[in-house]
């Protein structure tokens, strides 16, 4: 056992932390309040390597190990939840499946511009009005072969990054017969005629990360845009979500860390009954619990990432890490508001935003309940 990060990983953390402290954190409130995506910072992420974390170097990526990728998302979450979610989705959900399942031609075409920040971002399109975690039976968006093209029709929901992406990885039904081999992934450039991106959804938090409903009306793309194997879309999606869950777990740890740091700072400054509130046991216990649980959550996220990096199965561990880290983050952010008292409820203080932002983490990429289902299936042989 070795709980030390390598020198390289420590340096990654330092550089990303410095970048986030300068380029994201000071603008996080504005990003949330205005709903404007922080393109200025994201454009600077390309040369740094943050837009192609696990993309091989020959395609312009940073090719960092899975733990370093988790650290990067954690640090982004510490600075700005909205931007972190967009970058996590871009890396894990859009580029991840292209790296894993793409043909050489697809990789050559899409990875260099997306990984280096020369273009916009990428996104994954799964959820539909009637299909969330029940993708196998629920997906109604279809792709039908016609000559040398796929014709895509249907409607998707909750698509993170849809309006700020050049490319969508779309889950479609290619076999109307249904079953676990009836879905496929198709690469769809966002400027393809027939795509309508609805205005950004109004949300509780993460307002600087645009989420959209998207309609596909006779969208025509070449047959060569099939990603991976026809009929294996469900399996490819589940594998992609394993990786995405490590990212969401890391993001939640970052949000929780930011709330914890804000609470620690406030506990030193604020005085009640003639002494700083850090002297009150009620406050001490909340902060001690936060420190403990955040550390445990962080270790679980790194553990899942470590297994992923080794190429070992990590579905259960990713679900455990996501479940635990996101629920810890929610608790830590909740208690950070409690430590701040009335001021914590004010939008003037960072913890109010962090609490709203972290609320999604127990929902997106599989709710806590779905994570428990995944874990239960593994431990009970269901």
Q: Which is nearer to other proteins, 68 or 315 (CB)?
A: 68
Q: Is residue 53 near other proteins by the rule CB under 8 A?
A: yes
Instruction: Pull the structure tokens for residue 122.
Output: 């990428």
Cα–Cα dist 213/160, whole Å? 9
Q: Which is nearer to other proteins, 48 or 299 (CB)?
A: 48
Q: Is residue 58 near other proteins by the rule CB under 8 A?
A: no
% helix / strand / coil in the chain, to the nearest 5?
60, 15, 25
Interface with other proteins (CB under 8 A), residue from 30, 33, 34, 57: 57
Residue pair 89/161 in contact (Cβ under 8 Å)? The answer is yes
Q: Which is nearer to other proteins, 17 or 207 (CB)?
A: 17
Cα–Cα dist 360/337, whole Å? 17
Q: CB burial class (10 A; 0-12, 13-18, 19+) of residue 41?
A: buried
Q: Is residue 76 near other proteins by the rule CB under 8 A?
A: no
Interface with other proteins (CB under 8 A), residue from 14, 145, 265, 279: 14
**Minimum distance of other proteins from residue 17's CB (angstroms):** 7
- B/e letters for 62-99, b = 16+ CB within 10 Å, e = fewer, are bbbbbbbbbbbbbbbbbbbbbbbbbbbbbbbbbbbbbb
Interface with other proteins (CB under 8 A), residue from 15, 144, 239, 373: 15
How many residues bind other proteins (CB under 8 A)? The answer is: 21
Q: SS3 of 200, please?
A: coil
Interface with other proteins (CB under 8 A), residue from 28, 41, 42, 63: 63
**Minimum distance of other proteins from residue 223's CB (angstroms):** 35
Subset of residues 146 to 175 that bind other proteins, contact rule: CB under 8 A? none
Residue pair 378/316 in contact (Cβ under 8 Å)? The answer is yes
Q: Which residues bind other proteins (CB under 8 A)?
A: 7-8, 11-12, 14-15, 17-19, 44, 47-50, 53, 57, 62-64, 68, 72
């Amino acid at each position: 056992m070795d709980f030390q990060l390598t020198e390289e990983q420590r340096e990654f953390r330092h550089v990303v932390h410095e970048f986030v402290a300068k380029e994201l954190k000071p603008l996080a409130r504005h990003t949330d309040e205005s709903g404007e995506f922080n393109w200025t910072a994201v454009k600077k992420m390309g040369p740094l390597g943050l837009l192609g974390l696990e993309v091989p170097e020959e395609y312009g990526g940073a090719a960092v190990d899975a733990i370093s990728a988790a650290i990067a998302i954690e640090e982004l979450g510490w600075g700005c939840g909205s931007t972190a979610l967009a970058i996590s989705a871009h890396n894990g959900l859009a580029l991840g499946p292209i790296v894993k399942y793409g043909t050489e031609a697809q990789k050559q075409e899409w990875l260099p511009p997306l990984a280096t920040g020369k273009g916009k971002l990428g996104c994954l399109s799964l959820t539909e009005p009637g299909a969330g975690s029940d993708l196998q039976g629920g997906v109604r968006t279809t792709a039908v072969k016609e000559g040398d093209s796929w014709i895509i029709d249907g409607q998707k929901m909750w698509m993170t990054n849809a309006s700020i992406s050049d490319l969508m990885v779309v889950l479609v039904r290619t076999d109307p017969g249904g079953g676990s081999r009836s879905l496929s992934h198709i690469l769809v450039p966002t400027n393809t005629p027939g795509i309508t991106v609805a205005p950004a959804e109004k949300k509780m938090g993460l307002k600087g990360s645009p989420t959209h409903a998207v309609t596909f009306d006779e969208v025509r793309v070449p047959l060569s845009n099939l990603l991976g194997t026809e009929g294996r879309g469900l399996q490819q999606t589940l594998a992609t979500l394993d990786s995405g869950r490590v990212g969401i777990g890391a993001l939640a740890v970052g949000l929780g860390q930011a709330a914890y740091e804000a609470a620690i700072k406030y506990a030193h400054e604020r005085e009640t009954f003639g002494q700083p509130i850090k002297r009150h046991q009620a406050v001490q216990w909340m902060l001690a619990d936060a420190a403990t649980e955040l550390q445990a959550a962080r270790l679980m996220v790194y553990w899942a990432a470590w297994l992923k990096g080794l190429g070992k199965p990590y579905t259960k561990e990713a679900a455990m890490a996501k479940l635990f880290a996101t629920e810890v983050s929610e608790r830590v952010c909740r208690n950070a508001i409690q430590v701040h008292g009335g001021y914590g409820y004010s939008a003037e203080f960072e913890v109010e935003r962090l609490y709203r932002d972290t609320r999604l983490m127990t929902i997106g990429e599989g709710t806590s309940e779905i994570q428990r289902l995944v874990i239960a299936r593994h431990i009970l042989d269901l």
